[in-house]
Amino acid sequence: MDARVVTPGRRLGLTSEYIPGQGVYVRNDTIISSSRGTLEITNPIHNSSSGTGPDETLNKIIDVPQGEDSKTQKPIISVVKSKFPSTIPTVGSIILGKVTKINIKQAFVVILSVGDLLCHEEFNGIISISNLEILPNRVQDVRATEKDKVQIFNSFRPGDVIRAKVISLGDQKSYYLSTASNELGVIFAQATLTGT
């Protein structure tokens, strides 16, 4: 069985290779995901009497054509919705994240939770002080006061846990984040000398 997360509109295969199952539709002989979830490819089970597994549910939903030999039967391709609620950062969301690395202009963050919901997928964020090509004058994203004295390496260290606000959806790789508010910023850090 193949298991990977797919999104709506994703091309999954051809009807010549698979039988469409739950969470998919067919357009021009192409099987396409109709929902977000985990891709499942299973072999059909004929005359199942156990009634205990997910394959039995698939047998109830999918009609197997009469007269086909089980050796030539194509696998069933389905998209099963996640058991966890979808947690995706949006503009204005408050996130908890962990600083993974820093450079002179930016702190790179892995987003751990959005609001009170844990992220079950990896999302990345950037806190920037001077990324002029993308967002001009972003010094205010680090600190609300004394913006002219901001230095990333004095504000964040790898391993810091931060609370930040999503200010932009950013590019394809990362959300743009801000810690420029009294309730935002580093909420857990280890001392560089003692590690406590």
CATH number (3.40.50.300, 2.40.50.140, 3.30.2320.20, 2.60.40.10) of 94-188 reads 2.40.50.140
**Coil, helix or strand at residue 87:** coil
Per-domain residue ranges of the chain: 5-80, 94-188
DSSP, res 66: T
pLDDT, position 100: 95
Query: pLDDT tens per residue, the chain (196 residues)?
Result: 445 777 778 899 999 999 999 999 999 999 998 887 888 898 876 544 444 444 444 444 444 555 555 456 889 999 988 776 668 888 999 999 999 999 988 999 999 999 888 887 789 999 987 543 344 444 445 555 555 566 777 788 999 999 999 999 887 789 999 988 889 999 998 877 776 6
CATH assignment of 5-80?
2.40.50.100
Q: Is the dihedral of CA 11, 17, 19, 21 positive or negative?
A: negative
48: Cβ contacts below 8 Å, ≥ 6 apart? 55, 56, 59
Domains 5-80 and 94-188 share a fold: yes
**CB neighbourhood size of 10 (10 A):** 16
- Dist CA 6 CA 29 (whole Å): 19
- Dist CA 164 CA 21 (whole Å): 41
